[in-house]
Structure 1
Amino acid sequence: MDELLHKYRKNFSDIPSLYEYQKQVIEKLYQYNNTLAIIPTGGGKSLIYQLMAMELEGITLVISPLLALMEEQVTELTEKRKIPSLALNSNIIFSDQRDILRSLNGKYKLVYLSPERLQNPFFRASLIASGIKISMIVVDEAHCISQWGSSFRPDYGQIKNFVEFLKSKNHNPFLLCLTATLSEIARKDIVTEFNIEKENIVIKDIIRVNLNLYFQEVEKEDEKANALRDFLTKHKPQKTIVYLYSKKKCEDYAFDFSDIYKTDYYHSSVESEDKQHVYSQFVNNELDILFATTAFGMGINIPDIDCVIHLQIPNSVEEYYQQVGRGWRRKDIEKECQCLTLWSKVNFDRRLKELENEKFTAKHLEEAFNLLIGGRIRHTGQVVNKDKDALSNSDYNLQLIRYKFEKYGIIKTIGETNGTPLTIEFHKNTPLWNKILKSAEEMDSFNYVSKDLGISISTIVQHLYEQDLAGNIKKLPAMKKDVYFEVLIIRLEKSLSEKIIDEINAEIAFKIERLNELKELFNCSNPTERITELLS
């Protein structure tokens, strides 16, 4: 496979050769096989699919959960490697996203996107309308796929649905699933989900010998700050990342430690522009310590972090080793990375209580059902809409419930609309749109228009997509976005309700087991050996 690297030497002139495991993965991909590769952080996962993308016709879609990583890789690909690439993310203003999607054909070799976008009907319509061949789908941070993983994201659970959609449109891409660590049960989940044969699984030894692991128990939370200062004074690291789960604590610690260190913080509520600034500062050694939530996490490419601290506990051994695996990954200079976890019994008790509170009862599920699709459903096939933001801001984890309901055939997503009929402007109104506008004068609602004109919501949504792709929509509000569902089951039968509840609660019980494993790790005499047993 070095001949492939030689073929694209002008793009990858800084890479002298491929590792054996990289060659193995590329060989599987050359046969168009769905493949799972478990390769430690810093092991050159990106190079595998970037090289392969150059060799393939059409485009490669890279599904990544981290905005900063997308932008970093696209910048490197376009500026350094001269490979036309695109990151479709929330940093691109809404109108520009639409323009980009209308002109996908032939412009790019790699398109990076978040898993959330896969369910976006306009993205799907744009992809198909472009006529471009979709050759390969790369699932980065593939551990997020498995419902048995502590990092499970419901939108990752929709990847299979997206692949099936592409196949229904005469596309037949093969998949490459990539991750740094993966438990055995999560591995089985992914292999089953994507029909990955045993011979198409490549596992590189995940144990990193340059990570020094320390676990220190404290009685009270307020002891952690002094313990952290003592550790930093003793080891004198040059670049430290400190993980917390509280945004406020990130900010408080960054302020408190700024007395003698150059510090900053990073979490999901930081503005995008500020995130990029903080990230650049950390990369360029302008910060000593970065206090961050896991929003600064998966996929970061900073090879010279020489200290990783946990002030709050991860969810599992797998997640813990993912995070410490970001420590010192430079190949040219050998150095040990000091990894400290400061933990208390209270941390585990609190997390256990949170997990117990996530368990569902029949009453919870019924309330979530009514919240998601409303309580006035009279017949199957009825269409309801939900504010998209409300799906993410609910006590009932509606994103997860939506995923389960679609999985069990309770609802079916029809599409999304931006704005209301009277807030959308066409350059030139179509006959159908004129009818819609006239009806909307009575009530500015797509549901009302659908009933009044006897036109299905899916027909209206499809018309909007077609006109947008044709460049005929002048104004499409970015703020209000509704998701439309067709209701396939109007009443949750006891047997189905119990099946969903049992599945959700089994997943929570599994998370509790993983939490207990983590506690055992913190107390064992040989943590590296224990991690090897659990993850290798």
Structure 2
Amino acid sequence: MNDLAADWNQVRATFKKIWGYEDFRPPQGEIIQTLLNAKDALIVMPTGGGKSICFQLPALLKSGLTLVISPLVALMENQVQELQQLNLSAALLHNEIPRSQRKKTLQALEKQQLKLLYLSPETLLSTPIWERLSHPQVKINGIILDEAHCLVNWGDTFRPVYRRLGTVRPALLQSKPPGTKIAIAAFTATANPQAQGIITEVLQLQTPETFLISPYRNNLNLRVKITVSPGCRRHQLLKFIQSQGKQAGLVYVRSRKDSENLSEWLRTLNYSTAAYHAGLSSSERRYIETGWLNDDLQFVVCTSAFGMGINKSNVRWVIHFQAPQLLSEYLQEVGRGGRDGKSTEALTLMSEPTGWLDPTDQQQWRFFANKLAKQYQQAQQIANKIPAQGEIQTIAEALAAGDISLGLLHSLGQVEWLDPFQYQLKFKNSSALNQSKNNSQQTQFEMKRYLNTKRCRWQFLLNAFGFIEEATGFKCGHCDNCR
């Protein structure tokens, strides 16, 4: 098939043959056409909107390989498993897969037998994988950044390799035949205008086609409830779960400890549940995911590591035992409920605002704020110690959290990447540091404002994510404030 002018009837026929649908849902068709035409794109589309098909179908129709950069092993495994069950040429690479499977995937990569290769940002920039992908004979047609909000949420303070992804395309093109085109598309369910700007800038998107779909879901009923003590919080959680009968749900917490303690307590009350967090082994995580997908577990008590890209349509309720730090995380997590379009309850518990009776939430906010301030301070100290130019890996090994500090300095405009593996200091700017601190604090305050707002909750969210026109005079009629 011609890469630039794919016959649209054949595109639809392939879509129907593989996935069984008659036609695309708007704006799937336009996104697919954009990717077939090798244009850069930024796509913000609600959870359950059919994002994966938008990049999987073009990848299957084009010649060469599409790289899908994905944040979580579970997310990669679910998507690749679904594609392989359809007999499609997709594979994944991460550091937990068996050696034999890794060898088989690398051989398929070298023989150009793959259409889709899923890998994390860290795996992409690991030496053995990078060397193979940089080989002139390996044809790469596109790079997809799935769950692109992770670049914004994690790139500065948790997984700094996200900050270097903009250097991948120019570095790969240097090793490819002249005239090679590699398009980049970023997909996410949540990105406010500021986040959209960061994604575009960091990935070095070139005049991207932008698709912004409203996050509003009229089947998600949003509620916030105040608790006056830790005991009261548990009581409200239990009362809510009891009200949902045997229906499938999710309980979100902010720490591994809370995940384990709550699930243990709820199991003593004869609930079929499990704790899920990033500290579990790969096999443990797969076991819990499968149990939940098959309804052997009614709900999972989980951190933000759970649910991204996991497709379960009949989730009837989502409860936040504690609110997340970021509004984008909140919208991601409530969005995992009601993917079948049926009515779904989303409840968030919060300490009473003064913090006198229950200081839990205020302690949590303070902990994260102090941690962030410490990371900024550390970044500035490292800027005074390191050479003006050098290898990122050398700094990461020589200094504690050196790679995170470089990522932070990049976000402040004080560092530029010469390629995916080398940095160069530009200048030191303390006002940029203060501005960035203020921006981070504002982002946290946004979540607090949402919890305490007296207006329509969906109107608040629409405004926060840049859908100002739609938000004007909006009343959803089914959040706690509207009702």
TM (normalized to structure 1)? Answer: 0.75
> Does residue 341 in structure 1 map to residue 348 in structure 2?
yes
User: Which position in structure 2 is the counterpart of 1:423?
Assistant: none
The partner residue of 2:220 within 193, 211, 227 is 211
User: Which position in structure 2 is the counterpart of 1:229?
Assistant: 238
User: Which position in structure 2 is the counterpart of 1:83?
Assistant: 88
Which residue identity is paired with 1:204? Answer: I
Q: Give 3-state SS (helix, strand or coil) of 2:261's partner.
A: helix
User: Which position in structure 2 is the counterpart of 1:314?
Assistant: 324
Shift of residue 354, structure 1, vs aligned partner? 2.6
> Does residue 403 in structure 1 map to residue 333 in structure 2?
no
Q: Which deviations, in whole Å up to 9, do the C-alpha atoms of 1:463-506 show, x marking residues without a partner?
A: xxxxxxxxxxxxxxxxxxxxxx7x867xxxxx93x42x544543
Q: Give 3-state SS (helix, strand or coil) of 1:155's partner.
A: helix
Shift of residue 357, structure 1, vs aligned partner? 4.2
> Does residue 175 in structure 1 map to residue 189 in structure 2?
no
Which residue identity is paired with 1:230? Answer: K
The partner residue of 2:105 within 96, 100, 103 is 100
Distance 2:436 2:392 in 1: 30
Give unpaired runs (5+ residues) of structure 2: 1-7, 468-483
Q: How does 1:415-434 map to 2 (within 5 A)?
A: none
User: Which position in structure 2 is the counterpart of 1:532?
Assistant: 462
User: Which position in structure 2 is the counterpart of 1:436?
Assistant: none
User: Which position in structure 2 is the counterpart of 1:364?
Assistant: 378
- Number of residue pairs matched? 444
User: Which position in structure 1 is the counterpart of 2:77?
Assistant: 71
User: Which position in structure 1 is the counterpart of 2:5?
Assistant: none
8 Å contact from structure 1 (residues 261, 288) kept in 2 = yes
Distance 1:23 1:383 in 2: 40
> Does residue 4 in structure 1 map to residue 11 in structure 2?
yes
Q: How does 1:453-472 map to 2 (within 5 A)?
A: none
8 Å contact from structure 1 (residues 66, 299) kept in 2 = no
Which residue identity is paired with 1:83? Answer: L
Distance 1:322 1:260 in 2: 29
Q: Give 3-state SS (helix, strand or coil) of 1:202's partner.
A: strand
Shift of residue 156, structure 1, vs aligned partner? 1.7
Q: How does 1:164-313 map to 2 (within 5 A)?
A: 164-170=170-176, 171-194=180-203, 196=205, 200-236=209-245, 238-258=247-267, 259-313=269-323
The partner residue of 2:138 within 132, 143, 146 is 132
8 Å contact from structure 1 (residues 86, 108) kept in 2 = yes
Distance 2:379 2:201 in 1: 27
Q: Give 3-state SS (helix, strand or coil) of 2:152's partner.
A: coil
Which residue identity is paired with 2:344? Answer: C
Distance 1:322 1:356 in 2: 25
Q: What's the % identity of the aligned pairs?
A: 27
Distance 1:309 1:522 in 2: 14
Distance 1:321 1:131 in 2: 42
Distance 1:414 1:190 in 2: 17
Q: Which deviations, in whole Å up to 9, do the C-alpha atoms of 1:432-490 show, x marking residues without a partner?
A: xxxxxxxxxxxxxxxxxxxxxxxxxxxxxxxxxxxxxxxxxxxxxxxxxxxxx7x867x
8 Å contact from structure 1 (residues 11, 82) kept in 2 = no
Which residue identity is paired with 1:140? Answer: D
> Does residue 62 in structure 1 map to residue 71 in structure 2?
no
> Does residue 355 in structure 1 map to residue 360 in structure 2?
no
Shift of residue 528, structure 1, vs aligned partner? 1.1
The partner residue of 2:442 within 513, 521, 535 is 513
CA RMSD of aligned residues (A): 3.1
Which residue identity is paired with 2:94? Answer: N
Which residue identity is paired with 2:403? Answer: Q
The partner residue of 1:26 within 21, 32, 40 is 32
- Describe the shift of the 1:127–1:211 C-alpha distance in structure 2 as closer, same or farther (beyond 3 A): same
Distance 1:130 1:100 in 2: 18
The partner residue of 1:154 within 156, 160, 164 is 160
Shift of residue 235, structure 1, vs aligned partner? 3.2
Shift of residue 280, structure 1, vs aligned partner? 0.1
Q: Give 3-state SS (helix, strand or coil) of 2:160's partner.
A: coil
Which residue identity is paired with 2:199? Answer: I
Which residue identity is paired with 1:519? Answer: K
- Describe the shift of the 1:199–1:106 C-alpha distance in structure 2 as closer, same or farther (beyond 3 A): closer
Shift of residue 75, structure 1, vs aligned partner? 0.8
Shift of residue 305, structure 1, vs aligned partner? 1.2
- Describe the shift of the 1:165–1:518 C-alpha distance in structure 2 as closer, same or farther (beyond 3 A): same
Shift of residue 356, structure 1, vs aligned partner? 3.7
- Describe the shift of the 1:488–1:62 C-alpha distance in structure 2 as closer, same or farther (beyond 3 A): closer
The partner residue of 1:141 within 132, 141, 147 is 147
- Describe the shift of the 1:7–1:381 C-alpha distance in structure 2 as closer, same or farther (beyond 3 A): closer
Distance 2:190 2:390 in 1: 42
Q: Which deviations, in whole Å up to 9, do the C-alpha atoms of 1:197-218 show, x marking residues without a partner?
A: 7771112221011111110111
- Describe the shift of the 1:382–1:117 C-alpha distance in structure 2 as closer, same or farther (beyond 3 A): closer
User: Which position in structure 2 is the counterpart of 1:51?
Assistant: 57
Distance 1:8 1:146 in 2: 32
Give unpaired runs (5+ residues) of structure 1: 416-484, 490-494
Which residue identity is paired with 1:270? Answer: L
Which residue identity is paired with 1:109? Answer: K
Distance 1:154 1:383 in 2: 11
Distance 2:11 2:417 in 1: 46
8 Å contact from structure 2 (residues 154, 160) kept in 1 = no
8 Å contact from structure 2 (residues 136, 175) kept in 1 = no
Distance 2:310 2:68 in 1: 15
Which residue identity is paired with 1:201? Answer: T
- Describe the shift of the 1:201–1:247 C-alpha distance in structure 2 as closer, same or farther (beyond 3 A): same
Distance 2:305 2:60 in 1: 30
Distance 1:255 1:339 in 2: 23
The partner residue of 2:338 within 299, 319, 328 is 328
Shift of residue 185, structure 1, vs aligned partner? 0.9
Which residue identity is paired with 1:236? Answer: G
Distance 1:522 1:248 in 2: 24
Shift of residue 130, structure 1, vs aligned partner? 6.9
Which residue identity is paired with 1:294? Answer: S
Q: Give 3-state SS (helix, strand or coil) of 1:10's partner.
A: helix
- Describe the shift of the 1:126–1:298 C-alpha distance in structure 2 as closer, same or farther (beyond 3 A): same
TM (normalized to structure 2)? Answer: 0.83
